[in-house]
Amino acid sequence: QQKVQQSPESLIVPEGGMASLNCTSSDRNVDYFWWYRQHSGKSPKMLMSIFSNGEKEEGRFTVHLNKASLHTSLHIRDSQPSDSALYLCAASSPITGNTGKLIFGLGTTLQVQP
Amino acid sequence: EAAVTQSPRSKVAVTGGKVTLSCHQTNNHDYMYWYRQDTGHGLRLIHYSYVADSTEKGDIPDGYKASRPSQENFSLILELASLSQTAVYFCASSGTANSDYTFGSGTRLLVI
């Protein structure tokens, strides 16, 4: 079973709409989450990271974290066709020590329709 | 500009052959990683290294070896390539653990 689970598997939103992506870890030791965006045929690029309860906003992107439930969500407002990509959630745990290991989910494929 | 460069960009290998994937970083990072990406499995960690001349096993190390001869270079070696190793391979580097993760552009490997 994936230790980092993402939903939905795929999502279609209209241009200008709001996209909401979810990620949950089943590993109680996880303490840090990242969100990556990967355009087709390209490498993953980090969007945002979060380790404190609450919300973090950068431009059109907002990330929420609930540490009690180990649930994070990424919200993209005013979605653009260029936002169409695979969105990956990753988590790390202090139990792995200073290894830099990230556990990735399978991703959510976002399609923004003009 | 600091970067992670992988070579080759793509490769076709025959079953049972030896394959070496190379990675070079100019980020001055201590940590380097090899991941593979497959549909249905996402990104999975194969090997990683936090110092030159030392490598560690990741989550799926079987069938792979790694070599870190210098801070800048990290190679992934498939001694006997198998069909199941067809995938896209990404190298990455980071500074202090979990920070400034930078991925290379990937190597698309097809084993026939």
Output the pLDDT for position B77.
98
Res. A18: pLDDT tops 60: yes
Q: Which stretches in chain B have pLDDT values below 50?
A: none
Alpha carbon distance B100, B33 (integer Å): 13
> What tokens appear for A58 in the block?
């950068």
- Residues of B in Cβ contact (< 8 Å) with A93: none
Give the span between the Cα atoms of B109 and B10, in whole angstroms: 6
Q: Which helix (H) or strand (E) holds A24?
A: strand A19-25
pLDDT computed for residue A1 by the predictor: 63
pLDDT given for residue B97 in this prediction: 60
Per-residue confidence (pLDDT) for residue B104, from 0 to 100: 96
Residue A78 has pLDDT above 60, yes or no: yes
Q: Which amino acid is at B89?
A: Y
pLDDT at B76: 98
Q: pLDDT value at position B61?
A: 97
Nearest to A24, CA basis, from A5, A51, A48, A2: A5
Cα–Cα separations (whole angstroms), residue B33 to A21, B17, B27: 27, 23, 13
* Position A97 pLDDT exceeds 60: no
Note the residue count of chain A.
Answer: 114
For residue A46, pLDDT over 80 is answered with: yes
Which residues in chain B have their CB less than 8 angstroms from residue A104's CB? 42-44
- Tokens for A71, please give them: 């649930």
Residue predicted with more confidence, A93 or B29: B29
To test the contact with chain A by mutation, choose from B27, B45, B89, B98 the residue with the greatest count of A C-beta atoms within 10 A, namely B98
Cβ <8 Å between A99 and B56: yes
| Mean pLDDT value across chain A | 92
Instruction: Give yes or no for residue A98 having a pLDDT over 70.
Output: no
